[in-house]
Amino acid sequence: MRIIRDYQFVEEEDRGAAAAIGNFDGVHLGHQYVIDIARAQAKTTNTPLGVMTFEPHPRQYFAPKSPPFRLMSADARAHRLEKLGIERLYELSFNDTLSVLAPDEFAQQVIVEGLGLSHVVIGEDFHFGKGRAGKAADMVTLGDQLGFGVTVAPLMSDDVGEVSSTAIRDALTKGRPRDAARMLGHWHRIEGEVIRGDQRGRDLGYPTANISIAGLHPPKFGVYVVEVDILTGPHTGSYGGAASMGTRPMFGENRPNLESYIFDFKGDIYGEQISVALVDYLRPEQVFDGVDTLIAQMDADCAQARDILAKL
């Protein structure tokens, strides 16, 4: 997959794609449906399959001090899109220049002159241009005028309701990772570099791989059943585990992160990239009356996690 970040400097081989457009936060089933429509178009016209998205997320750009809301980092989104067979990722820098383009300017300067897209696929709730003034119907009109195809995809829903990033965030906030996975079509994953902590877990007999959740929507704090993929280094592979999401109230911490104990694993993975899938929620954070009580609960958590993973 090739990543293009500046629509004003595009190689000829990166032009002409059939591309889905959106923020693709979480790359949920609704996003995958839009991508599949673009995939069919790319196959029919023998053009590259693309996704156009924005970094930072426009909501983050306009309200940088708002609470974290993203389901995944840009790198995690790129990894997921690559797995879906995307050939061109147009991860455009959302900046002062892009943010003030009117809808017709966006279509002319970005879609036609910049990227030379042959066809775009958008959701029916898609908005674009300064002030989100452009709607899906406007994109259809502009496509007719400027010579690119447009498909408007209907919103997706399941038996519970609409499939959306907002609904997925709500499920995670309530500690329902399986509901989130139903809408995502995959486990909700948090990716990052393994960082050094205070190594208190090692002293307790439960060494953990710690990653930051800074900038991401925080799932409900507590203990989770997880699957851990080590993405880089000599220990690459998939492992089961149990993880603590939160601030470690037992030890007076206040910076939330994700600490994963990887079952049956010995090795140094500091500095490596890992991806942690939230499979099930076991219990909330709590303060224990002593270290021995804490260790006993950790033993029980891990036993329960192993049993759940064995039944997947």
Q: What is the pLDDT of residues 163-194, one digit of tens each?
A: 999 999 999 999 999 999 999 999 999 999 99
**Which own/partner pairs from 201-205 qualify as long-range (CB within 8 Å, at least 24 positions apart)?**
201/259, 201/261, 204/291, 204/294, 204/295, 204/298, 205/295
Catalytic residue among 13, 259, 272, 285: 259
Those residues with Cβ within 8 angstroms of residue 32's Cβ, 6 or more apart along the chain or in another chain: 84, 185
Prediction pTM value: 0.91
Q: What are the sequence ranges of the domains in the chain? A: 2-153, 188-310
pLDDT at res. 286: 87
What element of type H or E holds 87? none
Res 199: pLDDT: 64
Query: 124 an active-site residue?
Result: no
CATH class of the domain defined by 188-310: mainly beta
Pick the CATH number of 2-153 from 3.40.50.620, 3.30.1490.270, 3.40.50.2300, 3.30.300.30: 3.40.50.620
* Sites in the chain below the pLDDT cut of 70: 160, 198-203, 248-254
CA distances to 68, 241, 260, 301 from 308, rounded to whole Å, are 30, 11, 16, 11
